[in-house]
Amino acid sequence: MTKIKLEAVVSESDAKRRLDQVAASLFSEHSRARLQQWIKSGWLMVNGQQRRPKDLVYLGDHLVVQADVEEAGEWESEKMLLDIVYEDDSLIVINKAKNLVVHPAAGHQQGTLLNGLLHHCPNLRQLPRAGIIHRLDKDTTGLLMVAKTLVAHTDLVAKLAKREVSREYEAIACGVLTGGGKIDLPLGRHPVNRKKRAVSENGQKAITHYKVIKRFRSHTHLLIKLDTGRTHQIRAHMSHKSYPLVGDQLYGTRLSLPAGCEPSLAESLKNFKRQALHARRLGVSHPETKKVMHWEADLPADIKFLLKKLEKDFIMASSDA
């Protein structure tokens, strides 16, 4: 992300023309579509005031652009099957699959959700991070928001910062929790493993709420809500409380098996190689209509299958007691 500041003064030849037309002429290194979005979001001002793209400008008017520009030249669009839960002119809601990186990074320049989004909607190239509002870890499934305009992006990012976006997750944790609770512990980089996050006095504020959906013999099905959205927040918080998520290859501990469980359950737990975490529900007021909207994505097949196995083990153990 690069911060830019551009300035120009309207000449006689540009006077009494539309703002977006004049901006396209004065700042020709940027597309007209991008400039229109900057005008609508207040990133391009006239004499210190926000205007509309169709407003006329006059001789001597001072145009100033202060914007964040994503260096998107290396991003490639890729045809990809996307599970689109909702889409309109302002935003897209995706049900992200497992084993899918959201944003290109070292070692993952292609095959990311961002690459697929650029194929689906090429104009996203004009937006910071291609409009992606928040991220999910590679092996976390579920709902994720993408803005399609700069106005929507600015609005949704602000709502996320003000905790006006509701996010609910479902997870399977190792261990039996006696009840729900709240984890209010700051998170920072792990002192040894730089890939991990850990509770740290100097870390960022992080608040996680959890509620028991179902207890099994040695695992717990949880509903989790976030007040903040730190990297690996749920995984790091639950691990810190000694209830790591099933299958978590980074924060997990040794395999947890119910005593005397069937070999099929032991095999299922052993072969579950991703964190059992799914972004189930998402809610926010629409950036344009202001209508409060809610979306839900059903649990993926692998988590459903594991829950059935755990339920069967619980019933069998209860009947033998």
The torsion defined by the Cα of 126, 130, 134 and 138, in degrees rounded to 10, comes to: -170
d(CA 84, CA 77): 17
Using DSSP's 3-state secondary structure scheme, residue 154 falls into helix
d(CA 314, CA 312): 5
d(CA 63, CA 8): 5
Contact assessment for residue 220 and residue 146, using Cβ atoms and an 8 Å cutoff: no
CA angle centred on 176, ends 173 and 181, rounded to 5°: 80
Using DSSP's 3-state secondary structure scheme, residue 32 falls into helix
d(CA 12, CA 51): 20
Beta bridge partners of 210: 181, 224
**Token output for 13:** 């030849």
**Token output for 30:** 């940027």
- Amino acid identity at 273: K
Q: Which residues contact 174 (CB under 8 A, 6 or more apart)?
A: 218, 219, 243, 244, 245, 246, 252, 253, 256
Which one of the listed residues 14, 20, 61, 137 is annotated catalytic? 137
What's the DSSP call for residue 318? H
Active site residue 55: no
Active-site residues: which are they? 137
